[in-house]
Amino acid sequence: MPTKTSAESHPEEESDTRTEHVLMVGEALIDIVHRADGSVDEHPGGSLANVALTLGRLGRNTRLATWLATDTHGDRIRAWLDDSAVILTPGSSGAGSTSRATAHLDAHGAATYEFDLEWRVPAGTAPDAGTLAVHTGSIAAVLEPGASDVRTLVAAARATATITYDPNVRPALMGDPADALARIEALVALADVVKVSDEDVTWLAPGADPVAVAHQWLMLGPALVVVTFGGEGALAVTAAGEQRVAAPRVNVVDTVGAGDSFMGALIDGLWDAGLLGADRRDALRAITPVTLATLLDRCVAVAAVTVSRAGANPPCSTELSSTNTRRK
């Protein structure tokens, strides 16, 4: 587990470019959550921020290129990320106002979203000598003007880093599903690792079998495509075949951030297995069934903790110490 560096004392400070880390590129925002019982609360969130938070809590050096304002909501997000040792890259506080997402939860804790946001990639964002992986997805990969810059950055980053991608669709922002699918598959083709939920696939390709879609996406170029099925677990597809794991049974409070915490744990596990970095691309393609099963078990364990409590609140590594998924 990496040790914390002095740069982590400030949430937006230049860091040693040689320090191994994962670069997240995407949205951080304030979630305004309307629950089925009529209560309303606000908390920091955003898909890429949630993934970064998960990695930080699992002890990984994590940097987030995002688009915040120097307002009350922005200050709250910065403090939230800093508390889990996530470093904001320079320029991440250039927005005029901090974005917001309004989530409406049904009686089962499932969320639908409305958005008031702007997304741009901070000027100068790029991987450096210490960047093992670049992760993006969700709003950041489809909302202009930032989405075009994300695609350019990802295409260039492939030369030195593993590319991980989670479409994490937001129908309220993505327009026609067929158009969104074309944009998403262009990024799938650039990625080494893709995580997608069965609900995402249902919206993108109505009537399609999520597992069949995973196999189709694998043919576009990734080494690993993972489909999550909520409380039913997850399935990974590689050139060697399929690997399925069940999810732990827990009392679900809400599903906010569950997929993001799964994604963070997936990157963490690949890092632990020594499979991040462009020079490890062949090794990633040859991932063994045992390694993959262990990795997926940890991912569903992390997501299970997240859904057992309110909001996007992933566990720290110490909270997993009583399970068999603890890092050795």
What amino acid is encoded at 59 in this protein? G
Q: How far apart are CA 170 and CA 174, in angstroms?
A: 6
Task: Mark the ranges of the chain whose per-residue pLDDT is less than 50.
Answer: 1-11, 13, 322-328
pLDDT at 16: 57
Dump the DSSP string for 237-294. Answer: EETTEEEEEPPPP---S--TTHHHHHHHHHHHHHHHTT--SGGGHHHHHT--HHHHHH
pLDDT at 299: 95
pLDDT at 8: 35
pLDDT tens track for 235-268: 999 999 999 999 888 887 766 778 999 999 999 9
Q: Are 95 and 122 in contact (CB under 8 A)?
A: no
pLDDT at 15: 53
pTM for this prediction = 0.89
Helices 146-157 and 177-188, interaxial angle, to 10°? Answer: 30
- Please state whether the peptide bond connecting residue 210 to the residue before it is cis, i.e. omega within 30 degrees of 0: no
pLDDT at 12: 53
- CA geometry: angle 305, 173, 236, nearest 5 deg: 45
Question: If DSSP states are collapsed to H, E and C, what string results for 4-53?
Answer: CCHHHHCCCCCCCCCCCEEEEECCCEEEEEECCCCCEEEEEECHHHHHHH
pLDDT at 6: 31
3-state secondary structure of 316: coil
For 91, the token pair is 């320029």
Sorted by where each starts, the structural domains of the chain and their CATH numbers stand as: 17-320 (3.40.1190.20)
pLDDT tens track for 230-243: 889 999 999 999 99
Q: How far apart are CA 188 and CA 225, in angstroms?
A: 9
